[in-house]
Structure 1
Amino acid sequence: MKVAGFGFRKDAPYESFRAALQQVEGVGGPVTLLATVAAKAMAPALQRLATERGMIVLGVAVAGIDTPTRSARVQALYGTGSVAEAAALAAAGANSTLIVGRMDAPDGTVTCAMALGKGAIE
């Protein structure tokens, strides 16, 4: 299972989610699941993307997940260096691998990463 993990600002528009996902899928291929930090899983723009793609958004815990990208601000807020990378890894399940590192939407409001694994919901 390939999972796209998202980190984003509260006011991020739908177009930014779509653009970030297109960038990541352009490198890693199509995903089967979208994920983000549990507190943001119901964000309307992300839910719209999931609905249009026939997918769900899995809300996951990201604190303590080691990521290649390290943001001091994100670490202080969420306990991980990158919400996008950590969400992808968490949703992809144990022994998952990050296959596309964090990429930013053109406006900088959304980040997306991709992990490969068996999946936390399988």
Structure 2
Amino acid sequence: MRVAGIGFRGAATVDDLAAALALAGDADALATDTSKAGAAVMLALAARTGLAVRAVDVSGTATPTASVRVTEAFGTGSVAEAAALVAAGRNARLVVGRVVAPNGMATAAIAEGDGA
């Protein structure tokens, strides 16, 4: 199972999320923090790609990259990396670290694991 974790700023558009996802690569599902999973842009990305969105709690998840702002707000260094890792399930590992959309409004990362 390949899961694309998605992080984004409040003003991000679906095109911003799609740009980050395109940089990260193919996935079987999308994931983001529970506080972002119902956002219109996330649902629009799911509709555009045909992938289900998994809402996960990213707090406390160790990530290879870290943003001070994200750590303070979400309790993890990268929403994209943490969401991908948590949603990918047991034995999850990042296969694509955090990539940033050209305008900086969205991030994506890909993890593989034993998740269903």
TM-score w.r.t. structure 2 length?
0.96
Q: Distance in 1 between matches of 2:54 and 2:28?
A: 11
Q: Distance in 1 between matches of 2:59 and 2:21?
A: 23
Identify the residue that residue 75 of structure 1 maps to in structure 2. 71
**Regions of 4+ moved over 4 Å:** none
**Runs (5+) with no aligned partner, structure 2:** none
**Aligned partner letter, 2:7:** G
Identify the residue that residue 3 of structure 1 maps to in structure 2. 3
Q: Distance in 1 between matches of 2:58 and 2:90?
A: 13
- The alignment yields a C-alpha RMSD, in angstroms, of 0.8
Deviation readout 1:33-66 (Å, 9 max, x if unpaired): 0000001101111211111222111110011111
Identity of aligned residues (%): 49
Deviation at 1:10, TM superposition (A): 1.1
Identify the residue that residue 20 of structure 1 maps to in structure 2. 20
Out of 56, 69, 72, the position equivalent to 1:60 is 56
Report how many residues are paired. Answer: 116
Q: Distance in 2 between matches of 1:73 and 1:9?
A: 11
SS at match of 1:35: strand
**Aligned partner letter, 1:61:** D
Does residue 47 of structure 1 match 2:43? yes
Q: Distance in 2 between matches of 1:94 and 1:77?
A: 25
**Aligned partner letter, 1:58:** R
SS at match of 1:89: helix
SS at match of 1:39: coil
**Aligned partner letter, 2:23:** Q
Identify the residue that residue 93 of structure 2 maps to in structure 1. 97
**Runs (5+) with no aligned partner, structure 1:** none
Deviation at 1:92, TM superposition (A): 0.2
Q: Distance in 1 between matches of 2:12 and 2:97?
A: 20
